Amino acid sequence: MTCTKTVIMKKNMILALAALCMWACGQSTEQNETDYTQLSDEERLEIAHEIANSTIIVDGHMDLPLRIYSQTDGNPELTYDFINRQAEGNIDYVRAREGGVDAPFMAIYIPASYQETGGAIGLADTLIMMVEKLASSWPDKIAMAYSPQDIKDNFEKGLLSLPMGIENAAAIEDDLSNLEYFFEKGIRYMTLTHGKDNLVGDSSYDDSETHGGLSDFGKEVVKEMNRLGMIIDVSHITDKTFFDVAEVSKAPIVATHSSVRNFTPGFERNVSDEIIKKIAEKDGLVMITFGGSFLDQAYADANAEIRAHIVRWLEENNLTYRDAEAQEYIRQYSADKKPSVHVSKVAEHIDHVIKLVGIDHVGLGSDFDGVGDTLPEGLKDASMYPNLIAELLKLGYSKEEIEKICSDNFFRVWEKILSVAEEG
């Protein structure tokens, strides 16, 4: 009996010591967790660089293909020098590597004018070839990507991924089968409209309200995108079009490059709190964009006044935006008329979404090469993502939460969209 009691006492002592050890380890872990809010800006930035280099960063929208198109006069046979640092634009291979960006979605942008003139499919094909040429020209540095796994595999190999999305459903013209055509060519999302209403639905930049939301053809487009596993991008559409899409789509929906309307009241191009909640309800994603007019109302107001003046000046002087004289005038006139917007404002938009619907429904969608000189201080090009990460650390976000914002959320949503397609 005494022997049995001794064994039991020993067992209890071991269990007690184990519990004490677990508690102590837990306390140690908690005490060793860094409170990033208490660090200096320099210390946070150093950590931010480490996070950017070790984390996959997906960016939902960049207009690099259009820049290449302009620089090469639309000739897909010419090689654009993407691999070296460039004076123009917001991204090249060097700046992407410096900033830790790993998968910038290449926007195959179709201007609204092609809805009247035709030729949208041809332009899309040309832009796709230009993106593919980057990968074929530097296969040791760049690779195409068509799935979350492709991006992850490329990251492990040290390669920059170039996934693609079409901006403006005018690209498919009036033929539903063109969705599958582009999907087979590597397109993985499509923005339903751009600057004007099209056959699919109504644009937030157009007051015509041609369809009063999503057209009947647009409903078929949404269903076909679900079938293919193509991501539905709800940036650029009206609120009514958005809610029609949300009703029809069985899969999550994504705003690949939109910011929060709470900071820019009345700007329908940004997403309202009601829309953010609906996107989260469908397990989707809002990818915050970086343009100053999307981030700050004072900046948007000043930019609108400048634009109105320049339009009048161009008409009076019989010039276009592309004329050298006009470019110089625009540069001088605009130089000191816009309020400053800082990278911290992007972090505020991200923070707003998180406080509204949680950490799982926000990502990044810069619109680099698509918003001109309106980018905020500290976030002028692809080398500067660590500045944004540092601002998130300053707000108290952990490394794991920042990883969600950078790519984990997007991968989850994309994989869910693919699973919906597989289920049929």
* Cβ-Cβ contacts under 8 Å for 143 (sequence gap 6 or more): 135, 150, 154, 157, 159, 160, 161, 162
Reply yes or no on whether the pLDDT at 50 is more than 80: yes
Q: What is the mean pLDDT of residues 164-186?
A: 98
Reply yes or no on whether the pLDDT at 10 is more than 80: no
Residue 18 banded pLDDT, cuts 50, 70, 90:
very low
Shortest CA distance to 107 belongs to which of 289, 296, 300? Answer: 289
Could you tell me if residue 197 is left (phi over 0), alpha (psi between -120 and 50 degrees) or otherwise beta?
beta
Q: Classify burial at 80, counting beta carbons within 10 Å of its beta carbon; exposed 0-12, middle 13-18, buried 19 or more.
A: buried
Q: Looking at residue 42, what is its pLDDT?
A: 97
CB neighbourhood size of 47 (10 A): 18
Reply yes or no on whether the pLDDT at 419 is more than 50: yes
Give the residue extent of every domain in the chain: 47-293+345-423, 297-340
Shortest CA distance to 105 belongs to which of 114, 96, 113? Answer: 96
Q: Looking at residue 338, what is its pLDDT?
A: 83
Sign, Cα dihedral of 90, 92, 95, 99: positive
| Tokens at 177, concatenated | 């089968």
Residue 339 banded pLDDT, cuts 50, 70, 90:
confident
Q: Is 37 helix (H, G, I), strand (E, B) or coil?
A: helix
Give the mean pLDDT of the chain: 92
Reply yes or no on whether the pLDDT at 213 is more than 80: yes
Residue 397 banded pLDDT, cuts 50, 70, 90:
very high
Q: Looking at residue 1, what is its pLDDT?
A: 41
Counts for the chain of helices (H) and strands (E), in that order? 18, 10
Q: Classify burial at 277, counting beta carbons within 10 Å of its beta carbon; exposed 0-12, middle 13-18, buried 19 or more.
A: middle
Low-confidence winner among 6-10, 168-172, 340-344, 389-393 (lowest mean pLDDT) = 6-10
Reply yes or no on whether the pLDDT at 112 is more than 80: yes
47-293+345-423 under CATH 3.60.21.10, yes or no: no
- Model confidence pLDDT, tens digit, residues 137-149: 999 999 999 999 9
d(CA 386, CA 331): 28
Q: What is the mean pLDDT of residues 319-336?
A: 86
Share of the chain above pLDDT 70, in %: 92
d(CA 417, CA 232): 9
Sign, Cα dihedral of 160, 158, 410, 394: negative
φ and ψ at 167, to 5 degrees?
-105, 105
Q: Classify burial at 184, counting beta carbons within 10 Å of its beta carbon; exposed 0-12, middle 13-18, buried 19 or more.
A: exposed
